[in-house]
C-alpha cells in the first residue's frame, strides 16, 4: 500500500517537473496573445503629412519567385483556398496583359509582354473603393494607406467592382480553416468581410519595412514616403521612367513600376 | 528500486532539457532590440480605470480604443491619473492573463462578443 502511494507520488512529481520546465523554457507556449508591440510613433499622426508608396523594379523581379507573396500571406494569416472563386490574395503575380490592360502595347517588347508583374492594392490617392463603401469600413488613412476596418465591414462587396485593379478578396467562408501556418502576432479575418493588402501598416508602426520589401532577394521593391523629396523612392522615381496601372482613370495609384 | 532509477532518469532528462532551452532562450534574449524612437512609457502594472467602472464600461472603452487606433492612429491611452497605456487587447490580457478572464463572465451573462472571430482568444493561445 505504502509503496503504491510512493509510486504515484514519484510519477506525479516527474510529470510536474516536466510541465514546469516546459513552461519555463517555452516548450509549452506561455501566454502569447497578440503581444503588445511598442509603436514607433506615440503621438497622434498628422493627416496628410506622409504618403506611403511603393516602387516595383520589374527588371529585377525574378520569374517564378514567390517569396514576397509567401511572406505577405504568412505574416497576415491569409488563407490558402485552392478554389479560384474563393481565393484570397493580398499580393500576387499576373501577366502584363492583366496588370496593364490599357497600356499601349506598341512599345512593349515580346519579352516584356511574356513576363509576370506583381499586383497588389495601389493605395490610390483618389480611391474609388473608399468612396463607394457604404459604412466607411474601407477608408483613407492619415498616411495615404487605404485600409479596411474589419470591425465595420458588412460584406456588401461594393468595393470589389469599384476597384479597377481587382485588389480585393471576399471571405466566402471562415478563413481560419485554411490558414496553413498561423501567426499569433496578427489577427485573422472572419467570414463575410472583404480583405486586401494593408501596406503592412502593422509593421510600419513598429518601424519595419513591409514584409514583401524586406524579403525580396533582388531588392526589386522600394518602399517610402512619396511626400518626402529626399526619400529613396522619390529619388528613384525622379531618375527612372515609371508606370502606374491604368493612370487614365485618375485614381492616382501609390504603386509605381519600372518596366 | 525501479522507480528510483526512473526518477534519476527523469531528473537528468529534465535538467538537460532545461539547460538546452535556457541556452536557447538566452541567445534570443541577447539579440539587441532595435532602438525605437520616441517610445512612450507603457505602464501595464495597473488597471486603466477602477474595477467597478471597467465592469460596467469595458465594452465602450474597447470600442473607443478600436475606433481611435484604426481610424486616427492614436495608440496611447492616458488614464485619469496620467499613466499611459497602449490601446491594445494585449495590454488588458497581458495582465488579466487568466485564460477564462473574458469567458467566465460572458458565458454567465450569455453575451457573445465578436472579438475572437478575428483576434486570437486566450483560449486558443494556451
Q: What is the pLDDT at residue A18?
A: 55
How far away is chain B from the Cα of A115, in angstroms, using its nearest Cα?
37
Whether the pLDDT of residue A17 is over 80: the answer is no
β-strand partners of A172: none
Whether the pLDDT of residue B46 is over 80: the answer is no
The pLDDT confidence band at residue B23, using thresholds 50, 70 and 90, is low
Interface predicted TM-score of the whole assembly (ipTM), two decimals: 0.76
Mean pLDDT of A171-199: 95
Q: What is the pLDDT at residue A91?
A: 97
Q: What is the pLDDT at residue A24?
A: 47
Phi then psi for residue A155, to 5 deg, are 75, 30
The residues near B18 (Cβ < 8 Å, ≥ 6 apart) are A21, A24, A25
User: Helix, strand, or coil here: A200?
Assistant: coil
Q: What is the pLDDT at residue A20?
A: 52
H or E element, residue A109: none
Whether the pLDDT of residue A163 is over 50: the answer is yes
Q: Is the pTM of this model over 0.90?
A: no
Q: What is the pLDDT at residue B21?
A: 62
Cell matching residue A246: 491604368
Averaged pLDDT score across all residues of chain A: 88
Rounded to whole angstroms, the Cα distance separating B19 from B13 reads 10
Closest CA to A170 of A156, A183, A184: A156
At B108-118, the pLDDT tens digits run 999 999 999 99
The residues near A176 (Cβ < 8 Å, ≥ 6 apart) are A79, A182, A188
Q: CB of B74 within 8 A of CB of B68?
A: yes
Number of H helices, E strands in chain B: 6, 2
The pLDDT confidence band at residue B19, using thresholds 50, 70 and 90, is low
Nearest to B126 among A31, A189, A205 (CB): A31
Rounded to whole angstroms, the Cα distance separating A80 from A180 reads 7
How, if at all, do strands A169-170 and A194-195 pair?
antiparallel
Chain A positions with Cβ closer than 8 Å to B? 6-7, 10, 13-14, 17-18, 21-22, 24-27, 29-36, 38-45, 139, 141-143, 147, 149-151, 184, 187-190, 205-207
Which positions in chain A touch B34 (Cβ < 8 Å)?
207
Mean pLDDT of B26-47: 46
Least confident of A109-113, A162-166, A217-221, A235-239: A109-113
**Higher-confidence residue: A150 or B90?**
A150
The residues near A26 (Cβ < 8 Å, ≥ 6 apart) are B21, B24, B25
DSSP state of A99: H
Whether the pLDDT of residue B12 is over 70: the answer is yes
How far away is chain A from the Cα of B49, in angstroms, using its nearest Cα?
19
For residue B1, count other CB atoms closer than 10 A to its CB. 5
For residue A161, count other CB atoms closer than 10 A to its CB. 12
At A229-246, the pLDDT tens digits run 999 999 999 999 999 999
User: Helix, strand, or coil here: A255?
Assistant: strand
Whether the pLDDT of residue B38 is over 80: the answer is no
Q: CB of A53 within 8 A of CB of A242?
A: no
Length in residues, chain A: 259
**Higher-confidence residue: A191 or B42?**
A191
Amino acid at each position: 500500500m505504502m509503496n503504491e502511494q510512493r509510486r504515484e507520488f514519484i510519477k506525479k512529481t516527474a510529470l510536474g517537473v516536466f510541465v514546469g520546465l516546459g513552461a519555463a523554457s517555452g516548450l509549452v507556449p506561455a501566454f502569447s496573445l497578440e503581444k503588445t508591440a511598442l509603436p514607433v510613433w506615440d503621438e497622434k499622426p498628422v493627416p496628410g503629412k506622409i504618403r506611403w508608396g511603393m516602387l516595383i523594379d520589374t527588371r529585377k523581379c525574378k520569374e517564378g519567385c514567390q517569396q514576397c507573396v509567401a511572406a505577405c500571406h504568412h505574416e497576415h494569416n491569409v488563407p490558402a483556398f485552392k478554389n479560384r472563386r474563393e481565393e484570397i490574395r493580398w499580393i500576387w503575380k499576373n501577366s502584363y496583359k492583366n496588370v496593364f490592360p490599357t497600356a499601349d502595347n506598341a512599345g512593349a517588347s515580346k519579352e516584356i509582354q511574356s513576363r509576370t508583374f506583381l499586383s497588389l492594392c495601389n493605395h490610390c490617392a483618389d480611391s474609388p473603393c473608399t468612396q463607394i463603401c457604404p459604412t466607411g469600413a474601407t477608408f483613407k488613412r492619415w498616411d495615404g494607406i487605404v485600409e479596411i476596418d474589419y470591425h465595420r465591414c458588412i460584406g456588401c462587396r461594393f468595393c470589389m467592382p469599384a476597384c479597377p485593379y481587382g485588389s480585393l478578396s471576399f471571405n466566402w467562408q471562415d478563413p481560419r480553416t485554411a490558414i496553413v501556418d498561423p501567426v499569433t502576432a496578427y489577427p485573422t479575418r472572419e467570414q463575410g468581410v472583404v480583405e486586401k493588402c494593408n501596406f503592412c501598416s502593422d509593421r510600419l508602426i513598429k518601424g519595419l519595412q513591409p514584409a514583401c520589401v524586406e524579403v525580396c532577394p533582388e531588392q526589386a521593391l522600394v518602399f517610402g514616403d512619396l511626400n518626402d523629396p529626399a526619400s529613396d523612392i522619390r529619388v528613384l522615381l525622379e531618375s527612372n521612367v515609371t508606370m502606374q496601372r491604368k493612370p487614365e482613370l485618375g485614381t492616382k495609384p501609390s504603386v509605381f513600376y519600372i518596366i | 528500486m525501479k522507480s528510483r532509477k526512473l526518477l534519476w532518469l527523469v531528473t537528468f532528462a529534465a535538467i538537460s532539457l532545461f539547460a538546452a532551452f535556457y541556452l536557447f532562450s538566452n541567445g534570443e534574449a541577447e539579440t539587441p532590440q532595435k532602438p525605437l524612437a520616441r517610445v512612450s512609457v507603457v505602464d501595464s502594472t495597473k488597471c486603466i480605470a477602477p474595477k467597478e467602472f471597467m465592469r460596467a464600461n469595458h465594452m465602450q472603452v474597447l470600442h473607443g480604443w478600436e475606433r481611435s487606433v484604426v481610424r486616427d492612429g492614436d495608440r496611447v491611452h492616458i488614464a485619469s491619473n496620467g499613466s499611459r497605456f497602449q490601446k491594445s487587447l494585449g495590454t488588458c490580457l497581458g495582465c488579466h492573463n487568466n485564460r477564462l478572464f473574458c469567458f467566465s463572465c460572458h458565458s454567465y451573462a450569455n453575451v457573445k462578443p465578436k472579438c475572437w472571430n478575428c483576434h486570437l482568444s486566450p483560449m486558443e493561445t494556451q
